[in-house]
Amino acid sequence: GENVEQHPSTLSVQEGDSAVIKCTYSDSASNYFPWYKQELGKRPQLIIDIRSNVGEKKDQRIAVTLNKTAKHFSLHITETQPEDSAVYFCAASPNYGGSQGNLIFGKGTKLSVKP
Amino acid sequence: NAGVTQTPKFRILKIGQSMTLQCAQDMNHNYMYWYRQDPGMGLKLIYYSVGAGITDKGEVPNGYNVSRSTTEDFPLRLELAAPSQTSVYFCASSIIPGTGKNEQFFGPGTRLTVL
């Protein structure tokens, strides 16, 4: 089955700097890669996603890149702000049979943005 | 729309007790999911359902049961609670994957402690 590895587990940056979180996946058939943000005590919320037929997607200060050959994808946050502090999860969605739509999550990255 | 709702928010169980975690969504989503989130870890899929009357196991189904009698409701049953089931449980729903709208919407979570 699919396995998702996420690095780093913790990341501390100064306000205004960029942050990059990387994930690798094992199943080449996976075709959907979302990123979720989870604030302390809250539910995960989707911030950006990318499909396997796209190499890069951007939404204001956040962007995601996908390298299908290497089976890795990354989240880029520019001009970080204190409110970006949270745990970020990557996920991959296998594309076979009844599992289509299921998400396999990485273990998360705790991002701290220092003012 | 209330989105995805879960009850209760918190619960303490004694070893061997049983309980049902309730989940409901009012977005007419076909797919529903149950995850558990242990401290410092990502989300692990327990069970999922692709529609009323259809359920299937995820990554960590042992010790749990589900049913899906309606599109709206997807309760999770714990029989013979064990300390290893201490976790935060999230329910989620999504429109049929593959339609271009794979986003999973999460409920607020249920924090369960088994003593």
Give the model confidence (pLDDT) of A8-23 as tens digits: 999 999 999 999 999 9
pLDDT at residue A9, rounded to an integer: 96
Mean pLDDT to the nearest integer, A65-73: 95
Tell me: pLDDT of B47 over 90: yes
Interface touch A105/B44, C-beta < 8 Å: yes
Q: How confident is the model at residue A95 (pLDDT cuts 50, 70, 90)?
A: low
Distance from C-alpha of B4 to C-alpha of B107, rounded to nearest angstrom: 5
Mean pLDDT to the nearest integer, A35-41 = 95
A19 Cβ partners below 8 Å, 6+ apart?
A11, A13, A75, A76, A77, A80, A84, A111, A113
Work out the mean pLDDT of chain B and round it to a whole number: 93
Average pLDDT score over residue span B10-15: 97
Q: With H, G, I as helix, E, B as strand and everything else as coil, classify residue A20.
A: strand
Q: Note whether A3 contacts B: Cβ–Cβ < 8 A.
A: no
Q: Please tell me the predicted confidence (pLDDT) of residue B40.
A: 78
Question: Using CB atoms and an 8 Å cut-off, which of residues 11-50 of chain B contact chain A?
Answer: 31, 33, 40-45, 48, 50
Reported as a pLDDT band with limits 50, 70 and 90, residue A29 is confident
Query: In terms of CA atoms, which chain A residue is nearest residue B31?
Result: A101
Q: Look over chain A and give the mean of its residue pLDDT values, rounded to a whole number.
A: 92
Residues in a beta bridge with B51: B54
Facing residue for A93 by CB, picked from B40, B102, B108: B102
Lowest mean pLDDT among B1-5, B21-25, B97-101: B97-101
Q: How confident is the model at residue A96 (pLDDT cuts 50, 70, 90)?
A: low
Tell me how close the Cα of A56 comes to any Cα of chain B, in angstroms.
16
**Percentage of chain A with pLDDT > 90?**
77
CB contacts, 8 Å: A39 with chain B: none
Q: Which residues of B touch A106 (CB under 8 A)?
A: 42
Check whether B41 has a pLDDT greater than 60. yes
Q: Could you read off the pLDDT of B62-106 as tens digits, one per residue?
A: 999 999 999 999 999 998 999 999 999 999 999 876 665 678 999
Residue whose tokens read 């396997």: A52
Nearest-CA distance from A104 to chain B in Å?
7
pLDDT at B99: 61
Nearest residue in chain A measured CA to CA from B38: A107
Distances (CA, A) of B55 to A31, B11, B47, B52, B83: 23, 25, 7, 8, 25
Q: Which of A1, A44, A102 lies closest to B48 in CB terms? A: A102
Chain A residues whose CB is inside 8 A of the B102 CB are 32, 34, 49, 93, 101
Whether residue A98 has pLDDT greater than 60: no
Q: B41 to chain A: which residues are within 8 Å by CB?
A: 107-108
DSSP structure string for A37-82: EE-TTS--EEEEEEETT-SEEEETTEEEEEETTTTEEEEEE-S--G
pLDDT for residue A99: 58
Looking at residue B9, what is its pLDDT? Answer: 96
Task: Report the gap between the CA of A15 and the closest CA in chain B (Å).
Answer: 24
Average pLDDT rounded to a whole number, residues A70-91: 97
What's the pLDDT score for residue A54?
A: 80
